[in-house]
Structure 1
Amino acid sequence: MTAEAVYDMTPATPAELDAAVAQLATGIATWAEMELPARAELLRATQKTIAAEAGAWAGAASAAKGVPSGSYEGEEWMSGPAATAPMFAEYATSLEKLAAGKSPIDGLKLSTTATGQTKVRVLPEDLKDNLLFNGFVAEVWLKPGISAEQAKASAGLGAKAEHQNGGVGLVLGAGNISAIAPLDAAYELVAFNRASVIKLNPTFQHLKPVYDRALAPLIEADLVRVVNGGAEVGGYLTNHPDIVHVHITGSARTHDAIVWGVGKDAEKNRKAGTPQLAKEMTSELGGVSPIIVVPGSWAKSDLVYQAEHVVTQRLHNAGHNCIGGQALLISADWDQKDAFLDAIRTVLREITPRAPWYPNGQASIERAKATYGDAAEQVGSCTLVTLGEDSPTELYDGEYFAAVLGITELPGLGADFLANAVAFSNDRLDGTLGASMIVHPRDIKKMGARFDELVAALRYGAVGINVWSGIAFLLGGATWGAFPGHTLEQVGSGIGVVHNTHLIADSEKTVVRGPFHPFPVSYLKGEFTMAPTMPWFVTAKTAAKSGKALAAYGGKRSWGNLLKIFPPALRG
């Protein structure tokens, strides 16, 4: 074990934490007086250092999780440096627009939804996007009543406030996806002019040297500090008198312990309406994400491809995702229901097995098996649970954060089924972070305006149509967070958003639409053959090579780097 590794695992001492907070207070005072172009330059410098450390970053994350060598390593490239680096450049672009007297959403298409809400198209933005994200569209929907003119005027958030000093905040980093904590700190800095202490989750303690190098320009400017430690370090920082704000990505249980305390103290504080944390707190806390499968007439290749799609939503990162699909909602009246479920089982049996690595992951799986007994079926690395009307509701009441997928049948076809599924998702499932649906384009066409109305009715912060809603996490222009309306008392999937590189105010949710058939497709023996497999699918054999290429493109958005993505991606 190297000296660096020994040091890196050592929890920060109170004296070190005090010094870090004091240094950040100085750094954010300098940031407050910094011109926008200079801020943008600092962010672009960080994009470059992230790109330079991409290999070490992906390697350290893979080691922390015990990722099997091969295609699964692609997840760490894509959900680590490939997601992080480009967002720093996108923030820089927004600051440069503001410096030029423009709105950060100038040049983007604004329109209205079927319910009259203003929406901003954040993908695609240019020709490179059109090539890389062929068939994908992402829109940020604003809260009802916000006009296009208001959207343009308010975009920019704290970056529009001259000389604003947001103080020093604490980012309690998640322990499952390595891009989360750096991106949370970036949003705090750009949107709120706030420096951050990033307290790493112990699962990522070995990543500290990589983060220190990747975020070097911000660390040298005294705008970010990365520290290790457990609950004691987190508690010290949370209660530090010079920490003005706390952001957490994690569980509602941890959030409530910080805000209200534990045991009898928590109950007493809740009743009195007196949180023990007298600071502003924002959060992203996950929940039970539905996968709504709208019945249709599908080819065999559709069944196979969409089965891979469903399995990916559950088994990406071995199931340890706050946005992992947990509730599969399927029509009891669909004549291809059994064929589709058989296709899912086939995919689960054929992919490379992967054991749970996150703390208590296996315990969550065992709890599901104990709760559901004979209704729980182990298929490959996933526990499938078939629920009926009289089944326990545990699977709906909170996330397992593990490879458990519940199957619920609802009545109806077409718009009737979708309406039932939307109501079930809104009313029966815990949380509001993300929801996905799979629906054939011809069935969307049949539903007409009713389809758009039902999409609008989904109360989730990210909605994916023929794409996993988790992909919104990877898109800088998308907002990432719960549907608005949660409170400290009923925190649900959290309060506030992150990412949002166009700095859009008053967002309600992001809707991402993808192609039912990925492109290109070929027609063989009377059926469409799908090609390629999406790089983030757990079935993508070239995911590691695609992820590496995407990270290089995120570090430098050149035509050369863009073209290097396609050879491995098209081989699937």
Structure 2
Amino acid sequence: METYADLLTTIAPSTGETRTIFDPATGEAVGEAPVHGVADLERAITAATAAQPAWAALGHEGRSAALLRAADAVEHSAEELAQLLSREQGKPLNGPNARFEVGACAAWLRTAAVTELTDETVVDDGATHATLHYRPIGVVGAIGPWNWPMMISVWQLAPALRMGNAVVLKPSEYTPLSVQALIHVLNSELPEGVLSVVCGGREVGARLAEHPEIGKIMFTGSTATGQAIIKSSAGTVKRLTLELGGNDAGIVLPDADPKAIAEDLFWGAFINTGQTCAALKRLYVHEDIYDEVCNELAAVAAAMPMGHGLDEANVLGPLQNKAQYDIVSRLVEAAKESGARVLMGGDPDTGQPGYFYPTTLVADIDNDNPLVAQEQFGPALPIIRYSTVDEAVAMANGLDVGLGASVWSADLDAARSVAARIQAGTVWINKHGAVDPRIPFGGAKQSGYGLEFGVEGLKACGVPQVING
């Protein structure tokens, strides 16, 4: 495969209904995606059920070797995958974007392959001998999002495959082409039927969640959809890993150096143009350094070019779809109408093609403003002033979500003390959103439950079995 067009050709539907996918930066057609239905899903599940026992029988060593070969295949097609991803999702090639995402796919595959998971002797006292093992679940259903379509698909499928399961994956209707291409590449190194992709709508997702042959659902997306999956899966008592919506808080303590932290603050908030579940979405800054942090952050933001993803100079792209553009626009308008101070942005050029919303910083905003209280999932960051750490912690904990959070300080002990008080699945110190395939990741409150990554992520894709005797 020499170009992304060649890659598109390999996944182009030959028969059946199709849907045109458009570039969110230009409005131009990218390619045709199949429109699968429940019958297609049933065929994929039947194939997965048939293929899974032989895959499980390979053992950890055989499955790990296959995943390592799959990682090599991703790297071999990395540029073609990144080009397609940029056209379909909108994210630029450079910065922590399309090429970064494809590289993360290979990294997560490799980590899932080499992470050790050994049987554990839990009691051996002479009278009792008990060991804990993890067996394959069977067939795992994965439902992915549109913001990091390739990377999050790998977050789901890599540990599930490593643990001896087959996987049926349903990508977002917004970004089916990049996920199809990724699965095509992975399947060059995997047995037939073990991994499949079904590009359907809500009815396909609902059937996947309720299907009696699916033993686990892994889902990344909104809290509302997660709640629907919980209800659909209840009849078959499925295992669930749910990474749901977040509205991550960052707290800047008064001893922080505004200039030193400004760039990391920026990328914590604006990675993937703000379209990241665990991005920094509301920033609490102590009054002593509030103006300085605002100024330094604005200086960094002003230097970050936004535009078409295939332009090598750009590091920020469009919002992926019109619905998300409208959400960001509505929330920023509400902030402006409330009298909040717009430091930069907030006034999109509606004459240009694509769903571009300018990098926007909003200061002097109330904590109950919709831009603060609702997840914007885009390039608009509210900056809230606080007087005491207790006040900041209370505001950070004041919502019903808790995916990630961060604390910024020159004093690590002080930062860790504050971090321990925050209700979130991960709290980073002097960084935000820095996920690592070795470190468990999951949400608190209505940001979901279950852990991904590392040993805990592998365990979550298996059935624990104790042998006592």
Partner of 2:437: 476
Distance 1:81 1:437, change over 3 A: same
1:325 aligns with 2:288: no
Which of 321, 337, 340 is matched with 2:293 structurally? 340
- What is the 5 A alignment of 1:201-240? 201-216=172-187, 219-240=190-211
Distance 1:295 1:504, change over 3 A: farther
1:202 aligned counterpart, secondary structure? coil
Shift of 1:181: 1.0
1:77 aligns with 2:32: no
Instruction: Give the whole-Å Cα distance in 1 for the aligned partners of 2:114 and 2:12.
Output: 39
1:296 aligns with 2:255: yes
1:438 aligns with 2:443: no
Distance 1:451 1:232, change over 3 A: closer
Which of 413, 421, 427 is matched with 1:457 structurally? 421
Shift of 1:502: 6.7
CA RMSD of aligned residues (A): 3.1
Distance 1:183 1:452, change over 3 A: closer
Q: What letter matches 1:355 in structure 2? A: P
2:251 aligned counterpart, secondary structure? strand
1:59 aligned counterpart, secondary structure? helix
1:423 aligns with 2:379: no
Q: What letter matches 2:334 in structure 1? A: T
Partner of 1:123: none
2:278 aligned counterpart, secondary structure? coil
Q: Which moved more, 1:358-367 or 1:216-225?
A: 216-225
1:58 aligned counterpart, secondary structure? helix
- What is the 5 A alignment of 1:375-454? 375=340, 377=342, 379-380=344-345, 381-386=358-363, 392-412=368-388, 417=389, 419-426=390-397, 428-440=398-410, 443-444=411-412, 448=413, 451-454=415-418
- What is the 5 A alignment of 1:193-272? 193-216=164-187, 219-260=190-231
From the two aligned structures, give the one with the greater helix fraction. 1
Distance 1:294 1:369, change over 3 A: same
Q: Percent identity?
A: 23
Distance 1:502 1:246, change over 3 A: closer
Shift of 1:282: 2.2
Instruction: Give the whole-Å Cα distance in 2 for the aligned partners of 1:237 and 1:503.
Output: 21
- What is the 5 A alignment of 1:57-206? 57-68=81-92, 71-72=94-95, 74-78=96-100, 80-95=101-116, 98=118, 160-161=133-134, 164-177=135-148, 178-191=150-163, 193-206=164-177
Q: What letter matches 1:494 in structure 2? A: G
Instruction: Give the whole-Å Cα distance in 2 for the aligned partners of 1:384 and 1:405.
Output: 5
Distance 1:324 1:277, change over 3 A: farther
The answer as to whether partners of 2:170 and 2:205 remain within 8 angstroms in 1 is yes
TM-score (norm 1): 0.64
The answer as to whether partners of 2:90 and 2:320 remain within 8 angstroms in 1 is yes
Q: What letter matches 2:370 in structure 1? A: E
2:342 aligned counterpart, secondary structure? strand
1:384 aligned counterpart, secondary structure? strand
Instruction: Give the whole-Å Cα distance in 2 for the aligned partners of 1:5 and 1:217.
Output: 13
Shift of 1:68: 4.6
Partner of 1:360: 323
Distance 1:502 1:477, change over 3 A: farther
The answer as to whether partners of 1:319 and 1:403 remain within 8 angstroms in 2 is yes
Which of 12, 26, 46 is matched with 1:22 structurally? 46
The answer as to whether partners of 1:171 and 1:196 remain within 8 angstroms in 2 is yes
Alignment deviations for residues 366-418 of structure 1 (CA, whole Å, 9 cap, x no partner): 221332213152624233333555x6443443311112211111113xxxx2x
1:282 aligned counterpart, secondary structure? strand
Q: Which moved more, 1:86-95 or 1:164-173?
A: 86-95
Alignment deviations for residues 95-128 of structure 1 (CA, whole Å, 9 cap, x no partner): 4x73xx799xxxxxxxxxxxxxxxxxxxxxxxxx
The answer as to whether partners of 2:108 and 2:154 remain within 8 angstroms in 1 is no
Which of 54, 58, 70 is matched with 1:46 structurally? 70
- What is the 5 A alignment of 1:311-322? 311-322=266-277
1:243 aligned counterpart, secondary structure? coil
Distance 1:378 1:253, change over 3 A: farther
Instruction: Give the whole-Å Cα distance in 1 for the aligned partners of 2:236 and 2:330.
Output: 32
The answer as to whether partners of 1:258 and 1:276 remain within 8 angstroms in 2 is no
Distance 1:345 1:18, change over 3 A: same
Distance 1:327 1:208, change over 3 A: closer
2:441 aligned counterpart, secondary structure? strand
Instruction: Give the whole-Å Cα distance in 1 for the aligned partners of 2:438 and 2:33.
Output: 34
Structure 1: 5+ residue stretches without partners: 104-145, 147-153, 262-273, 487-491, 507-572
Alignment deviations for residues 452-490 of structure 1 (CA, whole Å, 9 cap, x no partner): 43332222222211122x112xx111112113xx5xxxx
The answer as to whether partners of 2:141 and 2:218 remain within 8 angstroms in 1 is yes
The answer as to whether partners of 1:461 and 1:481 remain within 8 angstroms in 2 is yes
Shift of 1:505: 6.4
2:427 aligned counterpart, secondary structure? strand
Structure 2: 5+ residue stretches without partners: 14-31, 123-129, 307-316, 346-357, 461-469
Instruction: Give the whole-Å Cα distance in 2 for the aligned partners of 1:501 and 1:53.
Output: 28
1:279 aligns with 2:238: yes
Instruction: Give the whole-Å Cα distance in 1 for the aligned partners of 2:153 and 2:89.
Output: 17
2:58 aligned counterpart, secondary structure? coil
Shift of 1:320: 0.8
The answer as to whether partners of 1:396 and 1:430 remain within 8 angstroms in 2 is no
The answer as to whether partners of 1:386 and 1:408 remain within 8 angstroms in 2 is yes
Instruction: Give the whole-Å Cα distance in 2 for the aligned partners of 1:422 and 1:481.
Output: 20
Instruction: Give the whole-Å Cα distance in 1 for the aligned partners of 2:401 and 2:294.
Output: 25
